[in-house]
Structures are given as structure tokens and as C-alpha cells.
Chains A and B, each alone.
Chain A
Amino acid sequence: MLTVNSIDVAYDQVQVLYQLSLSVERGEILCLLGRNGAGKTTTLKSIMGLLPLRTGSIDLDGESLSDLAPHHIPGKGVAYVPQGRRLFSELSVQQNMEIGLMASGSGKETREYALSLFPRLRERLKQRAETLSGGEQQMLAMARAICTKPQVILLDEPTEGLQPSMTSLIRDVIIEMKQQKVAVILVEQHVDAVLSIADRVTFIEHGVDAETVAASALLNDHSLVQKYLGV
């Protein structure tokens, strides 16, 4: 289980997260919802060790991640699919996946598993990442993360700017992750799409975990969504 315990995080002098806490179990999908600038991406980056904690801690199965250098965190089983994909643009599809495989020390089986989830990438293995379509780039970003054999996967707006068929594929892969007992933390803007697959939802407001509820509770009651997102 991944637990985030009362973390304070700042960009230089500007504090963004205030005593934020959350937790996610294996095989669970936790969705983070909040307005732009609420601190959702900052939360994911903090879990990855890319931003230092001022206070608080982050643990995975009782082992502290907050004491580790950022490059050790993927090796502990935490994968990150950032907003905007951020692929290694001049490297090929195969090389991007190779970088993911290096993090886990895994080989052909993991690569084949990732390619089975995104068969279109198999036809593009030698192609440079920057030449892929937006949807294919998102597939590659997720395949690269899956190559690290994660126990926890952090997804930052994975369906942003994608056409419906691609959104549906990404959604299916997230459900597959859940079935594989991977813990998923999902940041999304499409509330309706999220509620049907998430187990719980944490609303983040002004850097604080304002409220956590079961996703099923929000399906028929939009008052919380309206309160925190204004939609």
C-alpha cells in the first residue's frame, strides 16, 4: 500500500501542498480531482521524489520512499506517466521502452506484455517517438511506465487531447492494471469517464486533501463535484 502522510511541498518559496495525505491499495484506482493549480500534479511529482518534501513522509508497503534519491523510486515499483507524455522524443519507440525495462531490470516478457496492451506500438518500434501521433505517444508513455513493472502507477491526465477510441483504449489498460493488482493514482479532468472506473476519489483544493469519498457515491450525487470543481 502507498501512503502519503501529511506532506508539505513547495516550489522554492511558493508552498503548494499543505499537510496532504492519501493512500491507495493494490488493485485500487484512486482518482485525484481538483481545479487547475490545486496541487494534483505536484502530488504525483512528490511521490516520484521529483520535488523535495518539507515535512511528512511517503511509504510503500511500510518502506519509506521519501528518504530515497528520485532515481531509486522506480526500482521500488512506482511508475509515472506525466502530463504531456514527455517521451524521449529523439529515441525510438523501442529505446523508450528499453529505458523503462532498465528501471525494473526486466526483459523480453515485460516488453511483450506492454506490447500486447498496445499492439500498434509493435509496428512502430523503430520509429522516433516525436513522429508518433498524439494517441500513439500516449500509448508509448504508458507502455514505458508498464515496462518498469510497477506496483503503483501514477497517471497524470492520460486521456488529455485524445480522440474517444483512444480514450477507451487507455481506460481499458487502466482497468487491466487494476486487475493485475497494481495500485493506480489517476489525475483526470473528464470526471464522468473517471467515476465509472475509480474506486475512490480524493478532492484536492488549494493543496489540501479536502475530502475522500467512494466513487460510487458521486455517480448519482454531483454536489461534491460541483463544490470542488464548479462543474
Chain B
Amino acid sequence: MDFGPYLFVASLEGAITAAVLALTAVGLSIVFGIMRVVNVAHGEFYMLGAVLAWWITSMIAGHPALGFWVAIVAAPLLVGALAVLCDRFILNKVNYDPERTIVATIGLLYVIQQTTLMTFGPEARPVQAPFNERIALPWFEYGESGFQMIWPWGLSTTTYKLFVIVAAIIVLLVLWWVMTRTRIGLIMRATQLDQEMAQAHGIAVNKVYALVFGLGAALAALGAVLVVPIQQAYYLMGSDPLLLSFIVVIIGGLGSVLGTVVAAVLIGMSDGIISVFFTPTLAKILATLLVAFVLVFKPNGLFGKSRE
């Protein structure tokens, strides 16, 4: 295949990484932005989403699509509910103190990871996509007879991969609508801007925190359910999304949802393209280097505001 079509395929792979990363990182970003909590266990909520998707699809007999559609609703809800419990019984008990919440979520990371290992086992497990038809993609070339459409061998994708991208965009748009157009979004933004004044105006900040922590975890789990038919469910699969999410949140600007989405597209696309042309390890190295540059030259990230 020529370079052009090859780059197009790599970009499509990058778009899938970007879509899933945007969901996962936005979850981390809203938790930090509203609660000021650095959730080190965020990757484990992602992993739990994938593992639960496998468990739910393996429990439901019949057409594989049925199990998947149940999983895409139930897994994020279950993971979100678990996160709410973690907030109530752990983060709330340490008063959301920044240092203690980091230690607490590191502990949570190991508890979730090792519990999954003991119950789910060390094997990577596949989840069947609800649909997965291959679609050949056209390419345009300038030849002797002007522009012509060709169908290069190997230039293709699947309906499921396109679905992942579209689903992530829809979820992010719904999230934007909730944050900017609904009463609960207004309450979350007010809490983010001034927690004490929010309380002084009748907002139950602890309930908002529980909701936000649950929502952040549910978004990570949703990202994992979407990607698990392409990758596999594995008890150590949370570490890469966690690293990439931190990279994205720092580049985008701590607490900025828009910045997080832009940075997710940037990092996801470059990760996908570099992984196809070179190696995934090189992609991670370059992303980490980019973070270093951002921290040196723009410490608040691309869209972040300085905090007093």
C-alpha cells in the first residue's frame, strides 16, 4: 500500500484511540476539576468496565449483540455505583485532602486490581463485537486521466470501529449538553468554581462529589466497554489508559473538559499513527516528552487557567 492510504488507515486507528481516550480522560478531568482529587485508581475503573463487559456477555446466552448492549449500559452503571461507594467510604472520610486522596486511590488501585486477578484470573478474555462488517475504503489518486477513485488492497475498516468513534462523540456531546444546559450541570460548575459558596447557597457539595466521582468512573468504564471488542479484557489493562489520561489532562489543562478533548484527539491520533508506523512504545515516549514541554512552557496546559 502507498504512503497516503497507509497514513489514512493509521489515522483511523488513531481516531479510535482518541475516542476512547477522550472518554476516559474527560472522566479523570471532571473528577480533578470539580473535586480537586487526583484519582490514581481511574485506570482500574476502566479495567473493571472491560472485565464486567466480558462477564456480562459471557453470562447472557443468545446473540452476542444482546450481551454487548446489556454490558454497554450495565457495566458503566455498576462501575459508577462502585465509585460512589468508594467516594462515600474512602474519599469523604479523608475529607478530600489532596495528599491523602492520592494515597487512598493508590490503595484502591491495588485492591481493585488484585481482587480482579483473584476472581477473574490472569487471562486476557475477548468480547465479541455486536457487528463487525468490513468496509473497503476508497482512495483518490491523480493519474493520467485526472483524479480517479481506487480501492487499494488493505484500505479498510470495520463498522464496529466506526461505531466506537461515533458513540464517543455522541457521549461527549451529551456530557457537554448536561454540563452547560441542565440544572445538575449548573450545580457541578458552581461547585467547581467555589465549593464554599456553593454550600452557602444550598448545594450539597458531598452529594455532588459522589455523583462526579461516579460519573468519572462510569465514563472510563464506558470507554473500556467500547474498546474491549477490539482489544481484550485483562486485569492489568488499566495502566496505559491511566498514563495517557494523565498526559491528556495535563496537556489540555487541569480541569478543562474542552482542553482534555482537544488533547485526547492530539495524543490519541499521534499514538495511533506512531504505533502503526513505528512502535507503541515510541508513541508513549513522545507523548511523555510532550507533557514535559507543556509543563515547562505552558504549566497550566493548553486550555487551563492559573489557580490562586
Q: Measuring CB to CB, which residues of chain A are less than 8 angstroms from any residue of chain B?
A: 48-50, 69-75, 80, 82, 86, 88-91, 95, 98-100, 102-104, 144, 148
Contact = CB atoms under 8 A, between A and B. Distances in A.
- Most chain A beta carbons < 10 A, residue from B193, B200, B201: B200
B186 A98 contact: yes
Contact of B204 (A49, A69, A80): A69
Nearest to B197: A86
Given A72-B202, A90-B193, A95-B190, 14 more contacts: A50-B199, A70-B200, A82-B197, A86-B194, A88-B190, A91-B193, A98-B186, A99-B186, A99-B187, A100-B201, A102-B187, A103-B201, A104-B202, A148-B201
A99 B190 contact: yes
B183 interface: yes
B190 A74 contact: no
A102 B200 contact: no
B189 A91 contact: yes
A48 B189 contact: no
Contact of B202 (A75, A90, A95): A75
23 contacts: A50-B196, A50-B199, A50-B200, A71-B203, A71-B205, A74-B200, A74-B201, A74-B202, A86-B196, A88-B189, A88-B190, A88-B194, A88-B197, A88-B198, A90-B193, A91-B186, A91-B193, A95-B186, A95-B190, A98-B186, A99-B186, A102-B187, A148-B201
Given A91-B186, A91-B189, A99-B190, A71 B197 contact: no
Contact of B201 (A69, A89, A99): A99
Contact of A82 (B187, B198, B200): B200
A49 B199 CA distance: 9
B194 A102 contact: no
B189 A90 contact: yes
A88 B202 contact: no
A100 B201 CA distance: 6
B204 A71 contact: yes
A103 to B, nearest CB: 3
Contact of A71 (B183, B193, B199): B199
A98 B186 CA distance: 9
A70 B190 contact: no
Interface in B167-215: 183, 186-187, 189-190, 193-194, 196-205
Nearest to B196: A50
Nearest to A147: B201
A102 B189 contact: no
A45 B198 CA distance: 13
Interface of B: 183, 186-187, 189-190, 193-194, 196-205
B305 to A, nearest CB: 9
A48 B198 CA distance: 12
Given A82-B197, A86-B197, A88-B197, A102 B202 contact: yes
Nearest to A69: B204
A99 B202 CA distance: 8
Nearest to A80: B200
A144 B203 CA distance: 14
Contacts of A99: 186-187, 190, 198, 201, 203
A100 B203 CA distance: 10
Nearest to A104: B202
B201 to A, nearest CB: 5
Given A98-B186, A102-B183, A89 B193 contact: yes
Contacts of A98: 183, 186
Contacts of B205: 71
A89 B198 CA distance: 12
B209 to A, nearest CB: 12
Contacts of B202: 71-72, 74-75, 102-104, 148
A100 B253 CA distance: 30
A144 B194 CA distance: 14
B196 A88 contact: no
- Most chain A beta carbons < 10 A, residue from B198, B199, B201: B201
A71 B186 CA distance: 16
Nearest to A50: B196
- Most chain B beta carbons < 10 A, residue from A74, A90, A99: A99
A86 B197 CA distance: 7
A73 B205 CA distance: 13
A132 to B, nearest CB: 15
- Most chain B beta carbons < 10 A, residue from A49, A71, A80, A144: A71
Contacts of A71: 199, 202-205
A107 B107 CA distance: 46
B23 to A, nearest CB: 24
A48 B200 contact: yes
- Most chain A beta carbons < 10 A, residue from B186, B197, B203, B204: B197
Contacts of B187: 99, 102
Contacts of A91: 186, 189-190, 193
Contacts of B197: 82, 86, 88
Nearest to B208: A71
